[in-house]
Structure 1
Amino acid sequence: MPHANPIDVYLEAVVLSDGSDLHLVPGGLPRVRCNGRVVPVRRSEADGVRELTPDELRVLILGSMPRHLHARWEAEREVDYSYDAGETLGRYRVNAYFEQRGPAAVFRRVPPPPSGMDELGLPASVKGLLDLPNGLVLVVGPTGAGKSTTMAAMINEVNDRRAGVILTVEDPVEFAFQERGCVISQREVGSDARSYASAARAGLRQDPDVIALGEVRQASVLRQVLALSETGHLVYTTAHAKSAPGGIARLLGLVGPAREEATRRQLAGVIQGVIAQTLVPRADGTGRIAAFEVLLRSSSTVNKIRDGNLPSLRSDLGDRASGMVTLERSLAELVIRGEVREEDAMAHANEPDSLMAELRSIITG
């Protein structure tokens, strides 16, 4: 096919091989990650494929990069951005960087946003977090666990269920949403806003009902997130953590000791739910499947967050009648259904002994 941009010939190879990532390094063949393995692009997938020189790579990368980031890339030696290769080749999240031999980049393929939460297997109790008038919903997990995909599924559910305004603030924008019941405004940090904090602050003046922000990494962003949650907005955001209680601890860890107590009280006042997730290899080898942990607002969880008694939140997660679930219970159900192998579930459990207890509980009744 004709290509609008020189990089597209290699992105076409990603699509043809059903790959997830394109790796470009100077002096090497373009390579694609397929089913976990990184393999060279074949000549049948891209005409004239060969080792790329540093100068050739620089041209390819700059051709896909927004112009306002060119100087920043040269100065900071690394930059993230999104690249839209059109309807056929899709969208990509790009990390462009420098290594010893010269410029390099990884293009990660971004699938279309999930139509809704059922597509991801999210617990039914999470749907109760969509119609709330305000508050904070936190999605946590390690890098590559699918946090952005889960948040996109929730946004599309809200888009279907409500008639309002959704504002997203991302760095970079990953999923492109189509307006259904809601007006959707997507802002990218760097090109559409100076920073997460400034975009979140401006959100107060943009009449949104739901605000989705990328990962909270700074205390200044957390302050804006909490302020928005307190002023009549429903806020979705993400953080790096392995468990739902760990997600709460992650946010509190952004503030110093002098602010921790006040932040605990503020967070306890607005938190509506925490979804923790991990991706586990499917038993049939056809990819990965998500396991979830869900912590929901209750008088007990609010009191424990306010008082800083985060380790005891583990006991609340066992209250399945209220819709909460531990990661180990979710993993055990996947094992019993034959969707993941027991050894893979064990490798992803936060508490392997609890996983074994959940497996015994399900088997015996």
Structure 2
Amino acid sequence: MTDEEVADTMRQLLLALRVYGASDLHLSSNAPAFIRKNLLLERIDPEWVMPDADVVRLNMALLTEEQREQFRRSQDMNIGLQIGKARFRTALMFHKDGMSGAYRLVPDKIMSLEELGFLPADAKNIRRLLDYNNGLILVTGPLGSGKTTTLASMIEVANNTREDHVITVEDPIEIVQKSKGCQITQREIGTCTKSYHAALKGALREDPDIIVIGEMHDLETIENAITASETGHLVIGTLHTCDAGNTLNRVLDVFPPAQQPQIRAMTAGSLRGIVCQRLVPAANGGLTIAYELLINTVAVANLISEGKLYQLKATMQIGSKAGMCTIDQNLFEKFKAGHISADTALAYMRDTSVIDQIKKYVAVEEAKKLVAAKAAAKKKK
């Protein structure tokens, strides 16, 4: 096959992801090609083991000559590929058997918070966080939990309701945002700036109102984000953590012990809220998000400043009036709303008190159905 034919084959493979309802394509040397659909891996053809030469040609087919040279030098690359209107987050690397490429399909439209799976009351609370002119909002979750999609939805809320300058720093740019009420400036690591730290430092001189950080993963980036949130900017960032307590521990623990009391005080004053999310199977066969929501109340701020983060969960459990919920409480509410099944809710729950509640709820609902069925049978007689 010619290089153009290989490139066309690669385009067809990538565009077929959306048709098939898959989220990822993986091409790796001396291994079968596989996709990810609804969190599960599926081999395209178990008998088809891809030779290294074919994998290299396919993975290199859509790169520019400059990108190919850069990849050969660094042996790792993260870029955004555009094919027509479809975008793909692309990660390339070398391993012991040759080359590997992972392609993540980016949503073709920006969905509302409710469309993503947030319950209406929780979506309202998240929108309220975006009304602040300064402070720190964190969106967290494991890899592949939909953080980028939630981040894009939040930016869209600001874009429709505010008139501000928004600067985003991403690696790579995944969802392209068009300026509406806000002027949106999107910067990509490697193409537009060298690092998150350098981009954030430069952003402070570019008259931003809102700064969005694709990943807060080192001390300098986290420190600059907290400082920016204290100096009149609304900062929205992401972390790879699984709950609110771990998120705050991650933020605080990167600092030297002597600096932590000061950072705790700064975080307690600047934090607006934390959204921790993960993807779970939906009742309709697709995926939806389960999440917990922390709102920085006076009680939460005191726990942060005093270093009593182990008490956060108890505060969140009784903080529903302030808009808070734990992951277990949210799973219960999403089950009652019909978004997920009882089996799915129970599979992800850890809080025994909430597990007992959902089991009791299911039993009561089953009893109601049985009574209704008996009443209907009597009417027929």
Using structure 2 for the length normalisation, give the TM-score: 0.85
Q: SS at the partner of 2:88?
A: strand
> For the Cα contact (< 8 Å) 1:113–1:176, is it kept in 2?
no
Q: Corresponding residue for 1:24? A: 27
In 2, distance between residues paired with 1:235 and 1:270?
10
Q: Corresponding residue for 1:310? A: 309
In 1, distance between residues paired with 2:42 and 2:338?
28
In 1, distance between residues paired with 2:361 and 2:347?
20
> For the Cα contact (< 8 Å) 1:346–1:352, is it kept in 2?
no
- How far apart are residue 75 of structure 1 and its match? 4.0
> For the Cα contact (< 8 Å) 1:91–1:109, is it kept in 2?
yes
Q: Corresponding residue for 2:379? A: none
> For the Cα contact (< 8 Å) 2:6–2:61, is it kept in 1?
no
In 2, distance between residues paired with 1:67 and 1:221?
32
In 1, distance between residues paired with 2:141 and 2:162?
27
Q: Corresponding residue for 2:229? A: 229
Q: Corresponding residue for 1:40? A: 44
- How far apart are residue 296 of structure 1 and its match? 0.7
> For the Cα contact (< 8 Å) 1:142–1:241, is it kept in 2?
yes
> Superposition pairs for residues 155-304 of structure 1, below 5 Å?
155-284=155-284, 286-304=285-303
- How far apart are residue 275 of structure 1 and its match? 0.8
In 1, distance between residues paired with 2:64 and 2:353?
48
- Residues 190-212 of structure 1: CA deviation (Å, up to 9, x unaligned): 11101000000111111111111
Q: SS at the partner of 2:90?
A: strand
- Shift of the 29–360 alpha-carbon distance from structure 1 to 2, 3 Å rule, reads closer
Q: Corresponding residue for 2:76? A: 78
> Superposition pairs for residues 50-129 of structure 1, below 5 Å?
52-65=50-63, 68-87=66-85, 90-122=86-118, 123=122, 124-129=124-129
1:8 and 2:4 matched: no
> For the Cα contact (< 8 Å) 2:6–2:58, is it kept in 1?
no
Provide the identity percentage. 30
- Shift of the 272–57 alpha-carbon distance from structure 1 to 2, 3 Å rule, reads same
Q: Which has the higher helix share?
A: 2
- Residues 210-234 of structure 1: CA deviation (Å, up to 9, x unaligned): 1110121100100110111111110
Q: SS at the partner of 1:131?
A: coil
In 2, distance between residues paired with 1:362 and 1:167?
46
> For the Cα contact (< 8 Å) 2:171–2:188, is it kept in 1?
yes
- Shift of the 113–235 alpha-carbon distance from structure 1 to 2, 3 Å rule, reads farther
- Letter of the 1:200 partner, please give it: L
Structure 2: 5+ residue stretches without partners: 366-381
In 2, distance between residues paired with 1:210 and 1:361?
45
- How far apart are residue 309 of structure 1 and its match? 0.7
- Letter of the 2:55 partner, please give it: L
Using structure 1 for the length normalisation, give the TM-score: 0.89
Moved more, 157-166 or 21-30: 21-30
Structure 1: 5+ residue stretches without partners: 43-49
In 1, distance between residues paired with 2:215 and 2:78?
14
Q: SS at the partner of 2:283?
A: coil
- Letter of the 1:155 partner, please give it: I
- Letter of the 1:15 partner, please give it: R
Q: Work out the number of aligned pairs and report it.
A: 353
- How far apart are residue 176 of structure 1 and its match? 0.8
- Residues 291-316 of structure 1: CA deviation (Å, up to 9, x unaligned): 12111121111111111110111222
In 2, distance between residues paired with 1:222 and 1:362?
43
In 2, distance between residues paired with 1:68 and 1:355?
55
- How far apart are residue 355 of structure 1 and its match? 2.5
- Shift of the 144–336 alpha-carbon distance from structure 1 to 2, 3 Å rule, reads same
- How far apart are residue 251 of structure 1 and its match? 0.8
- Shift of the 95–225 alpha-carbon distance from structure 1 to 2, 3 Å rule, reads same
> For the Cα contact (< 8 Å) 1:10–1:30, is it kept in 2?
no
In 1, distance between residues paired with 2:300 and 2:157?
26
- Residues 300-344 of structure 1: CA deviation (Å, up to 9, x unaligned): 111111111101112221211111111111101122233323332
In 2, distance between residues paired with 1:251 and 1:114?
29
- Letter of the 1:322 partner, please give it: A
- Shift of the 245–66 alpha-carbon distance from structure 1 to 2, 3 Å rule, reads farther
- How far apart are residue 151 of structure 1 and its match? 1.0
Moved more, 231-240 or 56-65: 56-65
Q: Corresponding residue for 2:372? A: none
Structure with higher Rg: it is: 2
- Shift of the 242–358 alpha-carbon distance from structure 1 to 2, 3 Å rule, reads farther
Q: Corresponding residue for 2:369? A: none
- How far apart are residue 76 of structure 1 and its match? 4.0
- Letter of the 1:78 partner, please give it: D
- Letter of the 1:300 partner, please give it: A
